[in-house]
Amino acid sequence: MTTIKHKRIELPDLPYNYDALEPVISKEIMTLHHTRHHLSYVTGANAAMDKLEKMREGLGLELDYKATLRDLSFHLSGHKLHSIFWTNMKKPEKKNIPSGAILEKLEEQFGSFEAFQAEFAAAAKSVEGSGWAILAKDNEDLHVLEIQNHNLLGAVGVNPILVLDVWEHAYYLDYQNDRGKYVDAFWQVVNWGDVTARLAR
């Protein structure tokens, strides 16, 4: 019988140093967030794949299949979202306004850039517990969605082009319980060049 192998996930490098987003996001948060939290999703997704592989080889007789699929969904989604999140950010700028294709699209779909910001921020601020605000592309349309954990309340088949992690681990050391302040500061570090490139894909 052929050995079925899924490619294991590796933690991607950040496209900048851990202190690059200061003072909006501290070096301490970025270091822990990348090397502990993101890594745990990579490890968790790989562990689920290990279990499923053992099952396929007939060695996973006591596998809790439903729990393993839940783990795969959670950890794989967590890995995907963090990978987008890192590249969605860059060194902060006080006046960090999008231009070109992304600005036109946001104006067309939300009325104005400010209206889009308000909608995205409202999603980020209203996530219950842990989650994300995402701007996702579905063919020619852009949708703001609110993700619970990493994998609930999303929409299958849409492509996130801008994501904001609002789990407490993403901001608590810098902003304590003031998620709103973190969300408002996030605009300074958005890499609109990356968002524009994702829009064009």
The H or E element containing residue 159 is strand 159-165
Nearer to Mn ion among residue 51 and residue 79 (C-beta) = 79
Q: For Mn ion, which residue has the nearest CB?
A: 165
C-alpha torsion 108→111→114→115, nearest 10: -120
Q: Collect contacts of 103-107 with beta carbons under 8 A, ≥24 apart.
A: 105/142, 105/199, 106/142
- Do you find a cis peptide bond into 23, omega within 30 degrees of 0? yes
Nearer to Mn ion among residue 146 and residue 165 (C-beta) = 165
Nearer to Mn ion among residue 25 and residue 121 (C-beta) = 25
What's the CA angle centered on 187, arms 89 and 180, to 5 degrees? 115
**Least distance from C-beta 151 to Mn ion, angstroms?**
13
Nearer to Mn ion among residue 165 and residue 194 (C-beta) = 165
**Least distance from C-beta 87 to Mn ion, angstroms?**
14
Nearer to Mn ion among residue 79 and residue 90 (C-beta) = 79
Binding site for Mn ion (CB under 5 A): 37, 165, 167
**Least distance from C-beta 147 to Mn ion, angstroms?**
11
**Least distance from C-beta 166 to Mn ion, angstroms?**
9
Distances (CA, A) of 158 to 62, 91, 141, 151: 35, 28, 10, 13
**Least distance from C-beta 7 to Mn ion, angstroms?**
23
Token pair of 190 as six digits? 């958005």
